[in-house]
């Protein structure tokens, strides 16, 4: 026993060495947290999933369900895609600067304001009339551009005749009429029958417009079945120029401008 006094001493040395090695090689309790934080920042603030767990797909960049794009309503008066309805109006006294007289037949002879359209829309209208004639359909203009003053007179007369609630289902309050943009026009057959009236629906002219107007950049602005969305009764005669690309998109997807710009529902 006396000759092995060095054994306990050796044991103490081994224990001390092991303690020292463990102290300098053990990971810091905070190291894992720092790495996770850094990775979270690289992932755009999303915490890293544990091994074996299911990772949920990232939300759509658009923020809309199913990835549908959310668009801001176009309220620029001079824009071809401008939305003008019960919710979105025009600045007081707005008048387009490029109004022209399209070279197409109208149901009246006078060269007055309602015969005008904006230049781009007028050119498209001429092409559409020519295309219709090739198919044996003869269209005529009824009412194009309409000033705010004219709309005021019309709306007031409708209110006196039918009451304001009913008038609002087929006529716009001043400053909220598409006609004031110079991009909308009411159409009929060359004989003028059923001009701007419900009986125009179902005519060969109305059917042709519904099928072919988008080819020229026009849409049926207040389609059947969308009354609660547009705020207006079905008007087979009222076409609106939006350009060929937007007209094609709206037609293919069955959308109104309100739905396209997510401006639903409209106020009454």
Of the candidates 148, 178, 205, 235, the residue annotated as catalytic is 235
Q: Is the pLDDT of residue 162 over 90?
A: yes
For residue 68, what pLDDT is reported? 54
Instruction: Tally the C-alpha atoms within 13 A of residue 56's C-alpha that lie toward its C-beta.
Output: 5
Mean pLDDT over residues 9-26, rounded?
A: 46
- Domain regions of the chain by residue span: 2-42, 71-260
What tens digit of pLDDT does each residue of 89-145 get?
Answer: 999 999 999 999 999 999 999 999 999 999 999 999 999 999 999 999 999 999 999
> Which CA distances in Å does 108 have to 133, 142, 151, 171?
19, 8, 19, 21
pTM, two decimal places: 0.74
User: Known catalytic residue: 235?
Assistant: yes
Q: What is the pLDDT of residue 239?
A: 98
Q: Inform me whether the pLDDT recorded for 4 exceeds 80.
A: no
Class of domain 71-260 as given by CATH? alpha beta
What pLDDT is attached to residue 264? 85
Please, which pLDDT band fits residue 267 given cuts at 50, 70 and 90?
low
Cα separation, 95 vs 211, whole angstroms? 31
């Amino acid at each position: 026993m006396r000759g092995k006094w060095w054994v306990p001493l050796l044991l103490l040395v081994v224990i001390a060495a092991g303690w020292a090695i463990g102290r300098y090689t053990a990971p810091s309790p905070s190291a894992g947290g720092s790495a996770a934080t850094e990775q979270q920042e690289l992932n755009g603030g999303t915490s890293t999933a544990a091994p074996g767990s299911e990772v949920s797909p990232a939300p759509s960049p658009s923020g809309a369900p199913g990835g549908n794009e959310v668009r801001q309503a176009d309220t620029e008066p001079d824009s071809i895609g401008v939305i003008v309805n019960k919710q979105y109006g025009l600045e007081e006294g707005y008048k387009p600067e490029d109004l022209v007289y399209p070279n197409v037949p109208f149901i009246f002879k006078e060269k007055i304001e309602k015969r005008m359209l904006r230049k781009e829309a007028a050119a498209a209208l001429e092409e559409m009339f020519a295309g219709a004639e090739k198919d044996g359909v003869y269209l005529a203009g009824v009412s194009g551009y309409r000033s705010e003053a004219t709309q005021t007179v019309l709306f007031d007369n409708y209110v006196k005749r039918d009451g304001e609630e009913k008038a609002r289902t087929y006529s716009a309050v001043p400053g909220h009429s598409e006609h004031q943009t110079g991009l909308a026009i009411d159409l009929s057959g060359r004989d003028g029958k059923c001009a701007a009236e419900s009986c125009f629906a179902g005519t060969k002219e109305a059917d042709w417009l519904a099928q072919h107007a988008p080819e020229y950049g026009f849409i049926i602005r207040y389609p059947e079945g969308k009354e609660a969305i547009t705020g207006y009764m079905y008007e087979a005669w009222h076409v609106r120029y939006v350009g060929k690309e937007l007209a094609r998109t709206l037609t293919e997807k069955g959308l109104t401008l309100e739905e396209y710009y997510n401006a639903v529902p409209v106020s009454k």
